Structure 1
Amino acid sequence: MSTRALSFGAIAEAYERFRPGYPEELFDLVLAYAGRPVRTALEIGAGTGKATRLFAAHGVAVTATEPDAAMLTELRKTVPANVTTVRAAFEDLRPGKTYGLVYAAAALHWTRPESRWSSVAALLDPEGVVASFGGPVQLADPAVEEAVQAARAPFLESDEVPSPDGTAPDEAMQWPGTELQRSQFFLDVQQSVIKRRLTMSAPDYVGYLSTVSAYLQLPQSRRQQAYEAITRILPGTVEIAADIIVHLARRRSE
């Protein structure tokens, strides 16, 4: 687990406040793919519980794993009784109990590629399902996006997390679907997109940026200067494109 992956704990409350949650459509998509009730799930990198709450609300017994104590503290404030929390990085989990679903919400790219899929497979029931979902939160208006990039440029060239396997943004199959297709452990790889548009106030959008790892790597003074520069050029409210890219696959039978 990288230092960048563990940078979120200091801003756990902001993460919970400003990051968008996940819609009912996501649960419906996972359930339809599974083709049977999902009763147990293990979540990788649960953060403050944005996705945890969605699955737990549908009666799934979720084991939410998260290496950062501050993030787990925030998660525990809001999750129901059918959620078990474990402070651990994914790499530190030991196979034993298996689950009908293993999922990650904007967290899988922080795990180690060399053991990622064998570890997921070991935690799944026979023919269990793996789900990974997330996506960039982007300004929908190209003119506003261009102005923000110009304001950000003196401090940060890009705030995006590059594809872990180098897949280009215009490829039909995106990561981690690309890795799942190559994996000996999984089959029936499916990629879906849940279209989503949100409206945020300018302060809330800057609040969202305060939870993005690229900004968190900046020295605090530079980070604050970047936020102020962006705030100066934003309109009062902004439209956000926050599409959710969902990858699903089934564990290959032994």
Structure 2
Amino acid sequence: MSSEERVQDPRALVFGQAAEEYDTGRPGYAPELVDEVLAYASLDGTTALEMGAGTGKASVLFAERNARLLCVEPDPQMAEVLRRNTAGHPRVSVEVSGFEEWQRGDRRFGLFLAATCWHWFDPARRWDLVHAALLPGGAVALLWNPHGVLDPDLHAELGEIDRRYGVPSSPHATLAADYGDRAGHWADGEEDPSGWPQAQCRQDGRFTALRSLRHGAQVHYDTERYLSMLTSISSYRVLPAEQRERALAETGRLLDARGGGIGMLHLTDLFLARRR
């Protein structure tokens, strides 16, 4: 797939249509792993670069720890919410651009951060672009927050709704018990760009000190918050509006009938590496 084809992927262009739902409904990341990133990176006053920052789910956590952070986000509507969420942090700045088109100039950074967006970057270029953006010894931190449904029966019923309405993927597509016990287990064996990056990074050879870490916790979403999160998911956003609304309404009725929400295993998986 060419870079042009990836830029035109409709799933990558729909988040701004639901920027507020994304901000209120999407989960964040484990603060403990943010501390791990900063300890690993040892920024010592250098600036961190966050690419694909969204509405600031990760950005705010780093800003609260006084990191100097440049956030780059391709969608102007998402960037508007990002600016609002980081307005109280003067060490944070925001630029609107895609990764491949971004004009870095002669700037280089002590940390490259990407949270649940690595799969949107061109796999043929992303390691080159990361390497070019980092100072020697600079760190790479890639974050994901996969979910798993705790209740097997509810998982099966939700899967039936998804199949009926043609929803290809969703946060409830995986049963919590199916996750392995290590970071990135959910991506084992995948060849698509969303797979765990450790093998590609090791093969690249320009990075060292590779580490993988995981934090897990059980969380409960009430029906309203869970539907808000689903509204921001790309696989729902690309559905015809009427089909999407019917799928969400039926999902909401099921969750209300099953106690008014859904229990999930919420993971934060972290991959770390350092430019040689």
TM-score (norm 2): 0.84
- 8 A Cα contact 1:199 1:238, kept in partner: yes
* Structure 1 spans left out of the alignment, 5+ residues: 162-166
Is structure 2 residue 88 aligned with structure 1 residue 83? no
Q: CA deviation at 1:204?
A: 1.1
Deviations 1:72-130 (A, max 9, x none): 11111120211110000011123421111000010111010111001001111101001
Distance 1:133 1:116 in 2: 15
Is structure 2 residue 275 aligned with structure 1 residue 251? yes
- 8 A Cα contact 1:102 1:120, kept in partner: yes
Distance 1:179 1:82 in 2: 33
- How many aligned residue pairs are there? 247
Is structure 2 residue 133 aligned with structure 1 residue 116? no
Amino acid at match of 1:83: V
Q: CA deviation at 1:222?
A: 0.5
Q: CA deviation at 1:172?
A: 9.0
Q: CA deviation at 1:157?
A: 4.9
Amino acid at match of 1:17: T
- 8 A Cα contact 2:188 2:196, kept in partner: no
Bigger CA drift: 87-96 or 118-127? 87-96
Q: Which residue of 2 is the match for residue 164 of structure 1?
A: none
C-alpha change, 1:219 and 1:172, in structure 2 (3 Å) is closer
Q: How much is the aligned-residue C-alpha RMSD, in angstroms?
A: 2.1
Is structure 2 residue 224 aligned with structure 1 residue 207? no
Aligned identity (percent) is 33
**What secondary structure sits across from 1:246 in the alignment?**
strand
Distance 1:23 1:14 in 2: 20
- 8 A Cα contact 1:105 1:132, kept in partner: yes
**What secondary structure sits across from 2:100 in the alignment?**
helix
Distance 1:171 1:46 in 2: 25
C-alpha change, 1:27 and 1:169, in structure 2 (3 Å) is closer
Distance 1:177 1:219 in 2: 37
Is structure 2 residue 49 aligned with structure 1 residue 42? yes
Q: Spell out the pairing of 1:1-254 with structure 2 (5 A cutoff).
A: 1=7, 2-34=9-41, 37=44, 39-79=46-86, 80-95=89-104, 96-159=106-169, 169=186, 171=188, 175-234=196-255, 235=258, 236-252=260-276
Amino acid at match of 2:122: R
Distance 1:75 1:144 in 2: 34
Q: CA deviation at 1:36?
A: 5.9
* Structure 2 spans left out of the alignment, 5+ residues: 1-6, 172-183
Q: Which residue of 1 is the match for residue 180 of structure 2?
A: none
Q: CA deviation at 1:38?
A: 6.3
**What secondary structure sits across from 1:203 in the alignment?**
helix
**What secondary structure sits across from 2:209 in the alignment?**
strand
Deviations 1:205-251 (A, max 9, x none): 11111111111111111111111121121121221211011111010
Q: CA deviation at 1:170?
A: 6.6
Distance 2:10 2:187 in 1: 29
Q: CA deviation at 1:156?
A: 2.2
C-alpha change, 1:20 and 1:157, in structure 2 (3 Å) is closer
- 8 A Cα contact 1:31 1:38, kept in partner: no
Distance 1:141 1:237 in 2: 11
Q: CA deviation at 1:26?
A: 1.7
Amino acid at match of 2:96: R
- 8 A Cα contact 1:23 1:54, kept in partner: no
Q: CA deviation at 1:203?
A: 1.7
